């Protein structure tokens, strides 16, 4: 079998990137107190294999399933869905590629949808929603009314929602929480699923976890994720990102880039010309090509600090000068 490999922003095997607009990690992170806890994590001992204290801290008791990041949670829940009778997987399009990949490798039909109203199951489904969505940064307007479906809301970017409130989750919905992006700690592979109840899917997903799926550092990150000072730090970060994002949008508009609206610090943009990405990369500036999201000619840009925005602007001017 030809391996199916995901495509992501971030490290690409080339020289280190000075100004990385290609990942959605919060450039302001990590919060200092949480980082200290991660650095002080006791690596000499196994974590509690049942993560009892952590599950209590996260507030959902045994319904919490720690995962080695959101990506591992997506794979595991897709397998649990298959083993409990789900026969097709609905994924947002454009959307995070791992949902479709996880289904594909298990031979499950993938059904892309653009709008929640387009979801029309033909067999018992697993349905992924991403709120707010990667790569668009758009919020889900309403939840689907699919009482028979296994519905999961990926909340990877909920802590980075810069405006608007999500509608209350309907009962029976699974949640995927992976705060490492909002905390600027994507190197720590830690997240969790919250099951709506202790049903067959929950049992499968729990049984499929390798022992100690979450590292000591991961336990430290998740233990402090809901701390008041972490949440206060995040609120402050959102305000800063809001201001930086507005400046970055103005910069790109001034260069003739088309840009879509979003409620997150990242959004989709279309440069006025097609050959920019490798030339920016040569100049130490990386953007995420959106072709793998089904959007050739588009890029996903994340908000970066003023110095990086200036570097982007200089690189664009340099390319323009080269071509004049
Ligand atoms: C929407 C979404 N969900 C989940 C993930 C998985 O992230 P991680 O495995 O680092 O938690 C990502 C990573 O980019 C993502 O964009």
The per-residue pLDDT for range 193-250, each reduced to its tens digit, is 999 999 999 999 999 999 999 999 999 999 999 999 999 999 999 999 999 999 999 9
Whole-angstrom CA distances from 226 to 87, 133, 196 are 35, 22, 20
Ligand 1 pocket test, pick from 74, 134, 267 with the greatest ligand atom count within 8 Å of Cβ, gives 134
Q: Which of 207, 226, 245 is the last residue of a domain?
A: 226
DSSP codes of every residue in 173-200: -EEEE-TTTTTT-TTS--EEEE-SSSSH
Nearest C-alpha neighbor of 66 from the set 79, 51, 78, 76: 51
Q: Which of 226, 257, 283 is the last residue of a domain?
A: 226
**Is residue 8 in a domain?**
no
Cis peptide before 46 (omega within 30 of 0): no
130-185 residue pLDDT tens: 999 999 999 998 999 999 999 999 999 999 999 999 889 999 999 999 999 999 99
CB atoms within 10 A of CB 295: 18
φ/ψ of residue 161, rounded to 5 = -75, 120
Q: Are residues 212 and 257 in the same domain?
A: no
Ligand 1 pocket test, pick from 7, 96, 140, 264 with the greatest ligand atom count within 8 Å of Cβ, gives 96
Q: pLDDT value at position 167?
A: 86
Q: pLDDT value at position 166?
A: 87
Tell me: pLDDT of 48 over 90.
yes
CA of 161 relative to ligand 1 center, distance in Å: 15
Q: pLDDT value at position 163?
A: 95
Ligand 1, atom nearest to 23 Cα: 14
Q: Are residues 133 and 150 in the same domain?
A: yes
Domain total in the chain? 2
**Is residue 82 in a domain?**
yes
Q: pLDDT value at position 210?
A: 98
| C-beta 180 within 6 A of ligand 1 | yes
Ligand 1, atom nearest to 71 Cα: 9
Q: pLDDT value at position 126?
A: 98
Q: Are residues 107 and 77 in the same domain?
A: yes
CA of 119 relative to ligand 1 center, distance in Å: 23
271-319 residue pLDDT tens: 999 899 999 999 999 999 999 999 999 999 999 999 999 999 999 999 9
| C-beta 23 within 6 A of ligand 1 | no
**Is residue 84 in a domain?**
yes
Q: Are residues 23 and 40 in the same domain?
A: no
98-120 residue pLDDT tens: 999 999 999 999 999 999 999 99
Rounded to whole angstroms, the maximal C-alpha distance in the chain is 64
Q: Which of 194, 226, 258 is the last residue of a domain?
A: 226
Q: Are residues 151 and 44 in the same domain?
A: yes
| C-beta 156 within 6 A of ligand 1 | yes
Q: pLDDT value at position 324?
A: 84
Q: Are residues 111 and 133 in the same domain?
A: yes
Answer for the pair 127, 151: CB distance below 8 angstroms, yes or no: yes
Nearest C-alpha neighbor of 320 from the set 286, 289, 288, 276: 276
Q: Are residues 164 and 250 in the same domain?
A: no
Q: Whose CA is nearest to atom 7 of ligand 1?
A: 70
Tell me: pLDDT of 33 over 90.
yes
Q: Are residues 168 and 201 in the same domain?
A: yes
Instruction: Write out the residue range of the structural domain in which residue 128 sits.
Output: 32-226
| C-beta 30 within 6 A of ligand 1 | no
Q: Are residues 242 and 100 in the same domain?
A: no
- CATH of residue 304: 3.90.1150.10
Q: pLDDT value at position 23?
A: 95
**Is residue 240 in a domain?**
yes
**Is residue 92 in a domain?**
yes
- Cross-strand pairs, 90: 111, 127
Q: Are residues 253 and 271 in the same domain?
A: yes
Q: pLDDT value at position 226?
A: 98
| C-beta 95 within 6 A of ligand 1 | no
Tell me: pLDDT of 6 over 90.
no
Q: pLDDT value at position 7?
A: 87
């Amino acid at each position: 079998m030809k391996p199916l490999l995901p495509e992501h922003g971030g490290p690409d095997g080339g020289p280190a990137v000075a100004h990385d607009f290609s990942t959605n990690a919060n450039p302001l992170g990590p919060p200092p107190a949480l980082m200290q806890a991660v650095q002080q994590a006791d690596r000499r001992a196994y974590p509690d294999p049942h993560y009892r204290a952590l599950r209590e801290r996260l507030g959902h008791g045994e319904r919490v399933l720690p995962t080695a990041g959101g990506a591992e949670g997506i794979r595991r829940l897709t397998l649990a869905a298959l083993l409990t009778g789900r026969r097709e997987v609905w994924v947002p399009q454009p959307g995070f590629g791992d949902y479709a990949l996880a289904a594909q490798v298990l031979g499950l039909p993938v059904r892309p949808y653009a709008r929640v109203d387009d979801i029309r199951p033909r067999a018992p489904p697993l349905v992924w929603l991403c709120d707010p969505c990667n790569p668009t940064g758009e919020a889900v307007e309403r939840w689907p009314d699919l009482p028979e479906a296994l519905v999961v809301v990926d909340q990877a970017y909920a802590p980075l929602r810069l405006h608007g409130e999500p509608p209350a989750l309907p009962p029976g919905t699974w949640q995927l929480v992976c705060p490492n992006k909002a905390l600027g700690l994507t190197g720590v592979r830690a997240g969790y699923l919250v099951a709506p109840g202790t049903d067959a899917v929950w049992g499968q997903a729990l049984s499929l976890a390798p022992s100690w799926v979450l590292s000591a550092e991961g336990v430290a990150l998740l233990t402090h994720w809901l701390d008041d000072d972490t949440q206060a730090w995040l609120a402050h970060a959102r305000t800063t990102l809001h201001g930086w994002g507005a400046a970055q949008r103005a910069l790109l508009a001034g260069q003739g880039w088309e840009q879509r609206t979003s409620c997150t610090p990242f959004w989709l943009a279309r440069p006025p010309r097609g050959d920019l990405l490798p030339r920016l990369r040569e100049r130490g500036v990386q953007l995420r090509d959106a072709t793998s999201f089904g959007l050739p000619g588009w890029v996903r840009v994340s908000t970066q600090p003023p110095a990086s925005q200036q570097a982007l602007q200089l690189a664009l001017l340099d390319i323009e000068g080269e071509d004049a």
